[in-house]
């Protein structure tokens, strides 16, 4: 088959040595967004793209990018003790002594000082603060200490602030990543007692620059008032578990194991965890950051298509990091660079792709998915019309176990490519086989188990704002994590993930193979029918969730009807019936189109129309006015979880109804989904 | 109903104040078997029984009871450090400063000194040593460090010795009992860093005195050669987790988390656990104990029956401890004393029971279930003929959540009594209701979930050696454990279990109520049919276990037959068919006997015969020659697990076949069970 040959040709050109070179090039120094190191990385990527013959552009933007000024964390009583806010320098990894490495900090912390008692809030999730309230543990005016995990750290700060806390300390628990998981760095890959997870706290109703939602963050863009967008106001400081132990071991209140419902709050520190520290333990937290608008940039390199140059496959990964970024983002960025190198080499030597492929190295992802969101906002209309698909590679090559979270309409095409890519560190095994061994799709055993695409990286603008079919690629399984610490270095990567660059070779092969397939197949390999099938699956889930939350009765319930609610059940059944019909129509239609696409009598205009319709079918899920309370998110199929950040809300309009227990809003939400289905059916009707 | 009235009358006489007094009386000082404190406790129980008007006897015996002389545990290199081998004395519990408290020790440790590298062996179970062997971790000549839990500690020593270890350190892991479970003593009830679990290492093919298996350990009994009975020869030392951490944190080998199959080996200490310590870490262990034959005693107080004085209900709990023994054994012993007080008071005031009730405070249980075993051996023929039932109370009143492990033939009667006993710390709830809420019997929803009776306490002689129907009572749910530490004090008990003595009130009520029911009902309330029903359930389990172990094929397998094996399947099916028939016969027969027992025309001789038959039906499960390799264990229904000690092997002849993969032995084993069933059917045939 033609495609398999293409994929083989790609594979032959990918070089582990080149991947290691990209890593050396981009991971040579810390490169936090907007710093001098960041600009040197931008320059290196620009040169590389130009050397490949790509049409290259440095897309500058001006975003709110805070920088740390100072921070202090002290135990004030019962004795005085300063806690360490930076990682220890390691002889075994002298990169850790680089002078440009920042101490531990959380971007967008409030600036200020507070001295108070402490309260432990487990992972600082919505339900954790609700539990503290239920137990009568007063958080007001206190410094909350919460462990990393369970949600996006910005929500820990948001919920702490909403609960009235005066400050927040976030620490890495050794039960989640540390000695309880394996050997610690530098002996092994897990967090030692000084490891501090940096990261942003930005939690707004949109991705991208905090001050320019919906528009490009140009130098002169009209900006919102910084004090009114809802940034964090309390001081927030991340620490390692060595420092956390100093606080936790001095706490004196009731133990979490004394409540049956909070037994899982006990972590891996060698003390009984407690809800409150008591009066005797007082802690002082002072954090100072600036909040400046700073300049950084995306680097875009386009391999122009020969037949449909306006239609664009977008492959992206950010380039900014909290330190050296050997894993985050470079474990992905190097596969972006190598994909670009290999595909441009093939295009020069064989022939240009049918459609254009844009390779995008995003800036300032770490602060709030900023660079990609600004580029999407700047190119919204073009993308809505012409973007075929977006592939995201953030931190992709972290091990040999391949996985993907993807919109349903691209899953089949990805699986097909994975069936032609050799599995890393194996012989005579393809990625698809190894992947399926770890789990199959619940409804289609020929597919591997894909994840649902939520928030957390640069696909968000494409997928949630514009409705471009998207997928993230990744591969894990290595024993450790240096996530957002100063230990995210090349020595860490080469020791823990390996220095064979086999995972990066595999990721590059899948990513470049998918880009090639979407660029070259006459009819783009999008699959709108599977999107509807998944809609039905999630409709069942959300119906059950609504029943168990008491928002609406079970469809078959004989319980006395609550006014209006039987109508919800009927409407849910109605939309499901329409989905069955729509699924059948789309499956048959796209099958016919595929046959038409290989029929020589089909004209270029007809083909162009069919491709436009397939792209429009993904965009049919876009609701122009967006989701309630966060209109920037417009995709009715998926959005980031409003209360945790990373996980997805699937069918977010209906999910919103369930979470708000707003049964009255159910019918309007269901109507929106019926509109989507009607649009899909209309798109399937080719006139003449 | 008459029985409910009796149980109410018992309940009215049980006094929490009396239970607290028994606790003060018996928990006033350490009383390790054969010490002066032990003899003072024996004297106190003897006086108490006499004051109750019981026919009282101090049954002395002479058993191998080692005493600790000295022990040293040191880290020799990379630096020198002595490790602490006793608990810290607590101001909050000055009982902990008593001069008669021993440092931490394990009775029956070998005496000797060894300096070596260390190897971590998880719980020191058979499968843990097999895993070390599979991984190529050399145990030979090394000092093994293993954590408590998962098996009887004697097996840790046995398997370590068999693997060639030169010494063994056993520690309490904080993940199993310590800060990870809750607040630690004296603030809470869990193990602090110095807590050391004492206990015996005796693992022989019999219970009781090591040198006099099968016969009473009188002063002049013929004794085996101490060096030939298979006692432990390597030094073994228990330690707390503070001392364990000093060793574990200096280990340098491969981490247990690096092997997928050993991830559960990671415990709660704040270091990554490793298989081997490496050459740099050397530890010195020296243990010296004597091995003397010492005198101690059981105290037996008999409330004589008025109608069938030879027939005996036996209620027992040991009196010896490793320290103060406030929980182990006194949380049970006080309920034995109060049961005796209440029932003798009732007998004096109302009327004597129909049958005799023996209250037994056993000696030297802690060393190897010695006192009860010696008494059983001394009275084997009497018990085989006349013992109706044995109830064991070891550590019974440890919380409000009642439970029982019991032979199937007594379960119904226990549940009936529990239905008339008020639940501790509740109003208008009976023990049976609360108990059933925690779980029901798999085959009979009217019964609560009983445990299967294995080894580990004083029921073993009655149940496993003679075949007397037995049950153990207990109640838990309190937040902590002071098991075998010097913190097993009255202050610990009153702080953690409570000072209301409601659990002890409840246990006394159930135990005395059960004793009363078995003593007074005209026909003893034994239920041989349920024993057969349980036999069938366990036969299915063991059949499946044999299939999955590859010992015999699945009954329905179409696989090519292995010679002899289809015969096993047929024999299993045959014995099951006979069990169905036997169950039906017994159920109908006993029902008829119960009607006959309340028929005024039934003569005393007839009644006597029916009662004798019911007792004989329990004894029908006894195999005179005993189990393979351990003939002292003769009950074909249940035995202690040969490889772990505490858990039961049900249908041990068949289990032995499965564990040994001895398919050839299956038919003989099955024949033994067919013989049991035939005996049961014969006993059901009343002549004339």
Closest by Cβ to A272, choosing from B183, B257, B258: B183
By the 8 A CB rule, do B115 and B76 touch?
A: yes
Smallest CA–CA separation between B258 and chain A, in Å?
A: 7
When pLDDT is cut at 50, 70 and 90, the band that residue A560 belongs to is very low
Q: Which of B183, B268, B271 sits opposite A255 (nearest CB)?
A: B183
With beta carbons under 8 A apart, name residues in chain A contacting B269: 270
Dist. CA B623–CA A100, nearest whole Å: 80
Which residue among A182, A255, A268 sits closest to B182, beta carbon to beta carbon? A255
Task: Please write the tens of the pLDDT for every residue from A223-252.
Answer: 999 999 999 999 999 999 999 999 999 999
| Segment A409-422 mean pLDDT | 98
pLDDT at B399 over 90: yes
Q: What is the pLDDT of residue B149?
A: 96
A283 forms bridges with which residues in the sheet? A75, A116
Contact of B244 with chain A, judged by CB distance below 8 Å, is answered with: no
pLDDT tens-digit readout, B15-56:
999 999 999 999 999 999 999 999 999 999 999 999 999 999
Strand ranges for A209-263 from DSSP E: 236-239
Please give the residue of chain B at the shortest CA–CA distance from A478: B258
Q: Do B183 and A258 touch (CB under 8 A)?
A: yes
List, for residues A445-497, the tens digit of each pLDDT value.
899 999 999 888 999 999 999 999 999 999 999 999 999 999 999 999 999 99
B164 touches chain A (CB under 8 A): no
Q: CB–CB of A258 and B181 under 8 A?
A: no
Residue pLDDT, tens place only, A538-552 = 999 999 999 889 888
In B520-559, the residues whose Cβ lies within 8 Å of chain A are: none
What residues of B are in contact with residue A258 (Cβ under 8 Å)? Answer: 182-183, 188, 479
Residue A15 has pLDDT above 60, yes or no: yes
pLDDT tens-digit profile of B195-205? 999 999 999 99
- Chain B contact for A181 (CB, 8 A cutoff): yes
The mean pLDDT value for B436-457 works out to: 92
Instruction: List chain A residues with CB under 8 Å of B183.
Output: 255, 257-258, 272
B419 has a chain A CB within 8 A of its CB: no
Read off the pLDDT of residues B97-142 as tens digits, 9 standing for 90 and up. 999 999 999 999 999 999 999 999 999 999 999 999 999 999 999 9
User: Average pLDDT for residues A78-106, to the nearest whole number?
Assistant: 97
- Tell how many helices (H) and how many strands (E) occur in chain B: 20, 19
Q: What are the E-state strand segments in A81-193?
A: 81-82, 106-107, 112-116, 118-120, 143-147, 167-171
Considering CB atoms only, which of A180, A190, A271 is closest to B179? Answer: A271
| pLDDT of residue B608 exceeding 50 | yes
- When scoring B183, B186, B192 by the number of chain A Cβ atoms within 10 A, the one with the most, hence best to mutate, is B183
How far is Cα B622 from Cα A642, in angstroms, rounded to an integer? Answer: 67
Query: Angle, to 10 degrees, between the axis of helix A408-418 and the axis of helix A502-520?
Result: 120
What is the tens place of the pLDDT at every residue in B128-138?
Answer: 999 999 999 99
By Cβ distance, the residue of A182, A266, A269 closest to B255 is A182
Do the beta carbons of residue B172 and residue B150 sit within 8 Å? no
Residues in chain B within 8 Å Cβ distance of A270: 174, 179, 268-270
- Measured between CA atoms, the residue of chain A closest to residue B496 is A258
- Tokens 């320059």 sit at which residue? A43
Say whether residue B266 is in contact with chain A using an 8 A CB cutoff: yes
Question: Residue B330 pLDDT > 90, yes or no?
Answer: yes
* pLDDT score of B387 more than 70: yes
Q: Of B449, B472, B475, which Cα lies nearest the Cα of B459? A: B472
Name residue B249's beta-bridge partners.
none
Mean pLDDT confidence for B162-190 = 97
Residues in B touching A184 (Cβ below 8 Å): 272
ipTM of the complex: 0.89
Question: A271 contacts in B (CB within 8 Å)?
Answer: 179
| Integer angstrom CA distances of residue A576 from A548, A581, A673, B115 | 19, 9, 10, 73
Strands A308-318 and A387-392: parallel
Q: If you average pLDDT over residues B317-339, what whole number do you get?
A: 98
Gap between the Cα atoms of A401 and A451, Å rounded: 14
A46 in Cβ contact with A58 (< 8 Å): yes
What is the chain A residue with the closest CA to B178?
A272
Q: B679 at the A interface (CB within 8 A)?
A: no
Q: With contact defined as beta carbons under 8 Å apart, do B154 and B202 qualify? A: yes
Q: Is A268 on the interface with B (CB under 8 A)?
A: yes
Residue A561's pLDDT is what?
47
Residue B560: pLDDT band (50, 70, 90) is very low
Q: Output the average pLDDT for chain A.
A: 95
Best of A192, A240, A255 to mutate (most B CBs within 10 Å, chain B): A255
CA–CA distance, A570 with A578 (Å, rounded to integer): 12
User: What is the DSSP annotation of B610-671?
Assistant: HHHHHHHHHHTTB-TT-BTTBTT--BSSEEE-TTTSSSEEESHHHHHHHHTT-GGGHHHHHH
Give B273 to chain A, closest Cα distance, Å.
Answer: 8
Judging contacts by C-beta atoms under 8 Å, the chain B residues touching residue A479 are 257-258
Candidate from A182, A257, A270 with C-beta closest to B272: A182
Per-residue confidence at B647, pLDDT binned at 50, 70, 90? confident
| Cβ–Cβ gap B272/A479 under 8 Å | no
- Read off the tokens for B367: 């060393």
Q: How many angstroms separate the Cα of A618 from the Cα of each of A539, A588, B157?
A: 18, 17, 66
Q: Report B:471-510 residues touching A (Cβ under 8 A).
A: 479
List phi, psi (to 5°) of A179.
Answer: -60, -25
Residue A24 confidence (pLDDT) above 50: yes
pLDDT band at B567 (very low <50, low <70, confident <90, very high): confident
Instruction: Judge residue B222's burial from the number of C-beta atoms within 10 Å of its C-beta, 0-12 exposed, 13-18 middle, 19 or more buried.
Output: exposed
Write the pLDDT tens digit of every residue in A485-535. Answer: 999 999 999 999 999 999 999 999 999 999 999 999 999 999 999 999 999
Give the model's pLDDT for residue B1: 40
d(CA B569, CA A210): 73
Average per-residue pLDDT for chain B: 95
């Amino acid at each position: 088959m033609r495609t398999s040959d293409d994929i083989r040709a790609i594979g032959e050109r990918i070089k582990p040595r080149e991947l290691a070179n990209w890593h050396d090039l981009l991971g040579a120094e810390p490169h936090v967004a907007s710093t001098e190191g960041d600009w040197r990385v931008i320059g290196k990527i620009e040169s590389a793209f130009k050397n490949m013959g790509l049409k290259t552009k440095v897309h500058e933007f001006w975003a709110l990018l805070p920088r740390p000024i100072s921070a202090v964390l002290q135990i004030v009583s019962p004795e005085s003790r300063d806690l360490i806010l930076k990682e220890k320098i390691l002889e075994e990894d002298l990169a850790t002594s680089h002078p440009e490495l920042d101490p531990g900090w959380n971007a967008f912390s409030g600036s200020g000082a507070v001295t108070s008692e402490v309260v432990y809030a487990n992972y600082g999730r919505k339900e954790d603060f609700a539990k503290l309230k239920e137990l009568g543990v007063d958080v007001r005016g206190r410094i909350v200490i919460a462990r990393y995990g369970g949600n996006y750290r910005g929500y820990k700060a948001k919920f702490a602030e909403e609960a009235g806390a005066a400050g927040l300390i976030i620490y890495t628990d050794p039960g989640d990543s540390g000695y309880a998981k394996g050997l610690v760095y530098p002996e092994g890959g897990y967090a030692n007692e000084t490891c501090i997870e940096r990261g942003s706290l930005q939690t707004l109703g949109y991705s991208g620059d905090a001050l320019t939602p919906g528009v490009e963050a140009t130098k002169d863009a009209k900006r919102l008032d910084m004090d009114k967008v809802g940034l964090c106001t309390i001081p927030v400081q991340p620490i390692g578990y060595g420092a956390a132990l100093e606080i936790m071991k001095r706490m004196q209140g009731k133990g979490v194991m004394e409540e049956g419902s909070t037994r899982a709050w006990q972590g891996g520190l060698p003390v009984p965890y407690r809800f409150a520290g008591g009066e005797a333990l007082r802690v002082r937290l002072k954090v100072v950051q600036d909040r400046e608008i700073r300049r950084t940039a995306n680097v875009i390199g386009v391999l122009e298509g020969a037949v449909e140059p306006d239609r664009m496959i977008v492959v992206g990964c950010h380039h900014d990091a909290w330190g050296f970024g050997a894993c985050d983002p470079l474990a992905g960025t190097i596969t972006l660079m190598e994909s670009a190198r290999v595909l441009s080499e093939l295009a020069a030597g064989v022939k240009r792709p049918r459609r254009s492929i844009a390779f995008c190295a995003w800036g300032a992802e770490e602060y709030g998915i900023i660079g990609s969101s600004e580029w999407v906002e700047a190119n919204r209309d073009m993308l809505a019309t012409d973007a075929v698909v977006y592939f995201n590679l953030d931190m992709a090559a972290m091990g040999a176990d391949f996985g993907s979270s993807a919109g349903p309409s691209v899953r089949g095409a990805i699986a097909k490519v994975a069936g032609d890519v050799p599995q890393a560190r194996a012989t005579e095994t393809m990625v698809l086989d190894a992947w399926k061994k770890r789990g199959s799709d619940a409804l289609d055993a020929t597919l591997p188990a894909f994840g649902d695409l939520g928030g957390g990286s640069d696909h968000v603008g494409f997928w949630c704002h514009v409705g471009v079919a998207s997928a993230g690629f990744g591969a894990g399984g290595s024993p450790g994590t240096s996530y957002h610490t100063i230990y995210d270095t090349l020595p860490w990567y080469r020791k823990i993930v390996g220095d064979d660059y086999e995972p990066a070779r595999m990721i590059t092969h899948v990513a470049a193979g998918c880009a090639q397939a979407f660029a070259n197949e006459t009819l783009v390999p999008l699959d709108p029918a599977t999107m509807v099938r998944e809609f039905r699956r999630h409709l069942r889930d959300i119906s059950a969730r609504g029943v168990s939350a008491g928002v609406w009765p079970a469809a078959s319930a004989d319980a006395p009807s609550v006014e209006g609610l039987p109508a919800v059940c009927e409407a849910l059944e109605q939309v499901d019936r329409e989905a069955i019909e729509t699924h059948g129509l789309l499956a048959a239609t796209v099958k016919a189109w595929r046959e038409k696409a290989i029929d020589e009598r089909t004209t270029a205009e007809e083909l162009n129309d069919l491709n436009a319709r397939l792209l429009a079918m993904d965009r049919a899920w876009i609701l122009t006015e967006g989701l309630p309370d966060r209109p920037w998110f417009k995709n009715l199929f998926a959005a980031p979880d409003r209360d945790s950040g990373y996980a997805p809300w699937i069918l977010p309009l209906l999910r919103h109804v369930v979470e708000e227990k707003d049964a009255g809003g159910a019918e309007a939400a269901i109507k929106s989904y019926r509109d989507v289905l009607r649009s899909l059916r209309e798109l399937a009707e080719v006139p003449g």
